[in-house]
Amino acid sequence: MAVTPIWPAGSNVNEQGEITFHGRTAESLLNEFGSPLYVIDTDDVRVRATKFVKSAANAFNNTVTHVSFAGKALLSKEICRIVTESGMLIDTCTMGEMRIALAAGVPGRRLVLHGNNKSDAEIELAITEGFAKIVVDEPNEPARIAEIAKRLGKRARVMLRVTSGIHAGGHEFVSTAHEDQKFGVALLPVGADASKLNVLDDLTDVTPAGSNARLGESETTPGESAERQLQYDIKYPYDMSHEKVSEGDRKLAEAMTMVADGPALAVLKEIYRHQDVLELVGVHSHIGSNIHDADAFIQAAKRMMLLRKTFYATDAYTLPEVDLGGGYSVAYTDGEDSMDLDTELARLASAVTTVNRALGMPAPVISFEPGRWTVAPTGVTLYRVGTVKPVQLAGTAKDKAGNPVTERVYVSVDGGMSDNIRPALYGSDYTAKIANREGSSETKLCRVVGMHCESGDIIVNEVRLPADIQRGDVLAVPVTGAYGRTMASNYNQALIPAVVAVSEQDAHVMIRRQTVEDLLDWDVSE
Ligand SMILES: Cc1ncc(COP(=O)(O)O)c(C=O)c1O
């Protein structure tokens, strides 16, 4: 049983109070592989990846689901093999990520390429390898991809990343679907009245008028919105004399007309224009990260279904796939909320089914890109404790519960913001435990800090640790499997720690530790 639910499934505490991973003590791992150390429970990665794939398939039981592991969370050849063997595709965004996945033997048809500024070389490699999707991020990209595909004599499978206008995820830097940021193409025209999309919350049942709506278009000059006229292939069959559409259908038509005038639909048309070399796979929406429930996903999904409906109404093309991106949350500290996957995916599936039924559209393939959910709880960073410094505080200091604090113990470890930038970048919360012994039952309020030249070099802002914590102890910080190693840096010329895979079978190095020789090798001028 895990140390607590936020720790890897293969972790435990033995009779001596030491933390173990599949029976190996934290101390023995540090002795064998060095400190600091990223430990990944690869059995747990396999279990979680399989769980997400199965949960998605179960929830969306009336359609096909695709799940891509967001490689930005943690990438190595071994991780690529584990997640693809578990049924996932892999989402990449740089040449480095693409090359690692390909080197692992993952075929292009199981790879996705994202990026707001893809290089020609990246696009070329994705087309040559037959990537499952290249996700278009800006209006000029379809022409660029088309030209490269033509030159290579191949057809590229592309999707459009759409900013739905739904905000989600804690920190501004991880919310990605509002307009004023760098990703994607907006669903709605500038200044559009987004409240017209509220009609999506009232759609309950398909009406003949709704399902057969077509949007006509008059000649326009570029940049002007078209004069559109709602048309129907059939009238209400229930009342042949009825010439008017219902209030609900009229509101839906208004929403569709607004979407039809938006930048996203224009780019879909542009992709479609290049259909000799571009296969339009669908639309993509990523709304943010560490999201606890399905509410915002439901809102974004409904908007994607409306865009799909509108494209059908204007161009008679049914987009085969809607990718809802990543962002499924995990708990970083004990007691914190995390997404209940089965419950929330079931809610999402039900909303998607309802909206498509009401729109008279067939279910698309639904895709997901969970990074953090798949790997964050499978990872623990182990550090060696160095300086332990109690700092006396003035009367105004408080802990996070609001209690007055007179002393805080600064526990310095041999890593820091170079191996986990998330607390400094996003203010993320973590917890920590002594891993090499039980420690005294008396605890002290501690702040775990790194060894870098920044006072913001904090790993755990506030945690109660045994009062007898001392130099040489092993400190374990759980839930570091995602965005630890992949966001690591050489700040202060720190050496990026090794990643060690621990499973029932063995413990081995997955990504080797950097050495001072690496630093000197990169430094080539004399
Ligand atoms: C397009 C896209 N997909 C998936 C992810 C993965 O997000 P998470 O690790 O929160 O699931 C991200 C994260 O930035 C992303 O930008």
Tell me the two tokens of residue 464. 């109660």
Q: Is 371 annotated as a binding residue?
A: yes
Q: Is 426 annotated as a binding residue?
A: yes
Please state, in angstroms and rounded to a whole number, the distance separating the CA atoms of residues 69 and 53: 10
Q: Is 105 annotated as a binding residue?
A: no
Gyration radius from the chain CA atoms: 26
Please state, in angstroms and rounded to a whole number, the distance separating the CA atoms of residues 1 and 85: 25
Q: Is 144 annotated as a binding residue?
A: no
Pocket lining: 325 vs ligand 1, CB cutoff 6 Å: yes
Backbone angles phi, psi at 474, to 5 degrees: -100, 130
Amino acid at 413: V
Pocket lining: 328 vs ligand 1, CB cutoff 6 Å: yes
Query: Where are the alpha helices (H) located in 111-246, listed in sequence order?
Result: 120-128, 141-152, 199-202, 208-211
Pocket lining: 289 vs ligand 1, CB cutoff 6 Å: yes
Pocket lining: 161 vs ligand 1, CB cutoff 6 Å: no
pLDDT of residue 236: 40
Is the separation of the CB atoms in 419 and 513 below 8 Å?
no
In CATH terms, are 11-41+376-522 and 114-191+263-370 the same topology? no
pLDDT of residue 101: 98
Amino acid at 156: A
Tell me the two tokens of residue 124. 């070329």
Q: Give the containing element (helix H, strand E) for 56.
A: helix 42-59
User: Count of CB atoms within 10 A of residue 446's CB?
Assistant: 23
Tell me the two tokens of residue 46. 């396999």
User: Count of CB atoms within 10 A of residue 376's CB?
Assistant: 26
Instruction: Give the start-to-end residue ranges of the domains of the chain.
Output: 11-41+376-522, 114-191+263-370
pLDDT of residue 42: 98
The pairing of beta strand 458-466 with beta strand 443-449: antiparallel
Q: What is the CATH superfamily name and number for domain 11-41+376-522?
A: Lyase, Ornithine Decarboxylase; Chain A, domain 1 (2.40.37.10)
User: N- to C-terminal Cα distance for the chain?
Assistant: 55
Pocket lining: 228 vs ligand 1, CB cutoff 6 Å: no
pLDDT of residue 502: 98
Amino acid at 26: A
Please state, in angstroms and rounded to a whole number, the distance separating the CA atoms of residues 226 and 210: 21
Which ligand 1 atom is at minimum distance from the Cα of 169?
10
Q: Give the containing element (helix H, strand E) for 341.
A: helix 341-359
Please state, in angstroms and rounded to a whole number, the distance separating the CA atoms of residues 77 and 407: 46
- Give Cβ neighbours of residue 408 (< 8 Å, ≥ 6 apart): 390, 391, 393, 397, 445, 446, 447
The partner residues of 380 in beta bridges, in order of sequence, read 39, 478
- CA–centroid distance, 225 to ligand 1, in Å, is 33
- CA–centroid distance, 329 to ligand 1, in Å, is 11
Instruction: Give the active site residues.
Output: 453
Tell me the two tokens of residue 409. 């113990």
- CA–centroid distance, 422 to ligand 1, in Å, is 15
Is the separation of the CB atoms in 131 and 112 below 8 Å?
yes
Q: Would you tell me which CATH number, out of the four given (3.20.20.10, 3.40.190.10, 3.40.50.800, 3.40.50.2300), belongs to the domain 114-191+263-370? A: 3.20.20.10
Is the separation of the CB atoms in 192 and 258 below 8 Å?
yes
pLDDT of residue 62: 87
pLDDT tens for each residue of the chain, 526 residues long: 899 999 999 999 999 999 999 999 999 999 999 999 999 999 999 999 999 999 999 999 989 999 999 999 999 999 999 999 999 999 999 999 999 999 999 999 999 999 999 999 999 999 999 999 999 999 999 999 999 999 999 999 999 999 999 877 655 545 555 566 788 999 999 999 999 999 899 886 656 556 666 676 666 665 566 666 666 554 443 343 445 667 777 788 889 889 999 999 999 999 999 999 999 999 999 999 999 999 999 999 999 999 999 999 888 899 999 999 999 999 999 999 889 999 999 999 999 999 998 888 999 999 999 999 999 999 999 999 999 999 999 878 888 888 899 999 999 999 999 999 999 999 999 999 999 999 999 999 999 999 999 999 999 999 999 999 999 999 999 999 999 999 999 999 999 999 999 999 999 999 999 999 999 999 999 8
C-alpha angle 8-13-15 in degrees, rounded to nearest 5: 160
C-alpha angle 130-132-135 in degrees, rounded to nearest 5: 110
Is the separation of the CB atoms in 421 and 457 below 8 Å?
no
Tell me the two tokens of residue 479. 């839930």
Query: Where are the alpha helices (H) located in 129-190, listed in sequence order?
Result: 141-152
The pairing of beta strand 19-21 with beta strand 24-25: antiparallel
Please state, in angstroms and rounded to a whole number, the distance separating the CA atoms of residues 50 and 86: 5
- CA–centroid distance, 162 to ligand 1, in Å, is 14
pLDDT of residue 333: 97
If DSSP codes are grouped into helix, strand and coil, which group holds residue 132?
coil
Is the separation of the CB atoms in 428 and 478 below 8 Å?
no
Q: Is 228 annotated as a binding residue?
A: no
Is the separation of the CB atoms in 100 and 355 below 8 Å?
no
Of 111, 118, 339, 369, the residue with max ligand 1 atoms within 8 A of its CB, to mutate for a pocket test, comes to 369
Tell me the two tokens of residue 330. 């995990």
Please state, in angstroms and rounded to a whole number, the distance separating the CA atoms of residues 349 and 326: 16
Pocket lining: 114 vs ligand 1, CB cutoff 6 Å: yes
- Token pair 């929403």 in the structure block, residue: 255
Is the separation of the CB atoms in 382 and 34 below 8 Å?
no
